Amino acid sequence: MYFDSHAHYDDESFDEDRDELLSGMPQKGVDFIINAAADMASCYKGIELADKYPFIYCSIGVHPHEVKDLEEKHIEELRTLVKRDKVVAIGEIGLDYYYDLSPRDDQRKWFKKQLELAKEFDLPVIIHSREASQETFDLVIESGVKEGVIHCFSGSKELAKEYVKRGFYIGIGGSLTFKNAKKTVEVVEEIPIQNILIETDCPYLTPIPFRGKRNDSSYLSYIAQKIAEIKGTDILTVSNITCQSAARLFRI
């Protein structure tokens, strides 16, 4: 039983075999998938996928890379889309000061507005944060949003504990299996397994031993196995607990 809490099956890398791949996921033990939006177009594509496959749900929102193109009318558009049956979160939203593909003032402005949208509709958030850990945390707490997952967490174990203390979940993906994953290993060691969600971020961040290939939800077991090793438990326990936690967060 696996729950992929963050995937991008609308990505063009799946165009040639998307239906074949997704149709086989239940047979591979993948019970649920959240297709996370990154821009306005992917919001609609995610909804289409959720409508087509019973085990897929989706989020809507605009990634910090793409907010440079946002206008107020798009927030109103999101306000309409949020009412669709299988929209279960606002995301992936946040701050990215590593690539800085959108001006930082724009990133802050639209992050705040999308957090307000989540609070208005009482939905959890899916947060992207890169090289902006403390500011992301401060804005999330300031917003009053009470639920969410910090996707592909790259902050310190101390910050992870602060999120957990406030009821948030920490998203752990394929990078946990990389040789240079010391920081992420420490986070997994320190926080309760009940506050960990597993994710692929597919087609990106494929776990060892498939790094370099296109990622998909069938590789979740490699992430779960690594967590099990760190926590001194078994893979079934990890898959069951993380699945239950994700279902609770996204109210599925």
Residue whose structure tokens are 């509709």: 121
* 162-177 tens-digit pLDDT: 999 999 999 999 999 9
What average pLDDT does this structure show over 195-216? 98
Question: Among residues of the chain, what percentage have pLDDT more than 70?
Answer: 100
What band does 115 get if pLDDT is binned at 50, 70 and 90?
very high
Mean pLDDT over the full length of the chain: 98
Report the 10 Å Cβ neighbour count for 140: 24
Q: Are 90 and 114 in contact (CB under 8 A)?
A: yes
State how many domains the chain has. Answer: 1
Segments forming the whole domain that contains residue 155:
2-250
Instruction: Report d(CA 159, CA 144) in Å as an integer.
Output: 18
CATH number of the domain at 176, please: 3.20.20.140
What band does 224 get if pLDDT is binned at 50, 70 and 90?
very high
Q: What is the DSSP string of the chain?
A: -EEEEEE-TTSGGGTTTHHHHHHTTGGGTEEEEEE---SHHHHHHHHHHHHH-TTEEEEE---TTTGGG--HHHHHHHHHHTTSTTEEEEEEEEEETTT--S-HHHHHHHHHHHHHHHHHTT--EEEEEES-HHHHHHHHHHHT---EEETT--S-HHHHHHHHHTT-EEEE-GGGGSTT-HHHHHHHHHS-GGGEEE---BTS-PPTTSTTSPP-GGGHHHHHHHHHHHHTS-HHHHHHHHHHHHHHHHT-
pTM of the model: 0.98
**pLDDT given at position 134:** 96
**pLDDT given at position 175:** 97
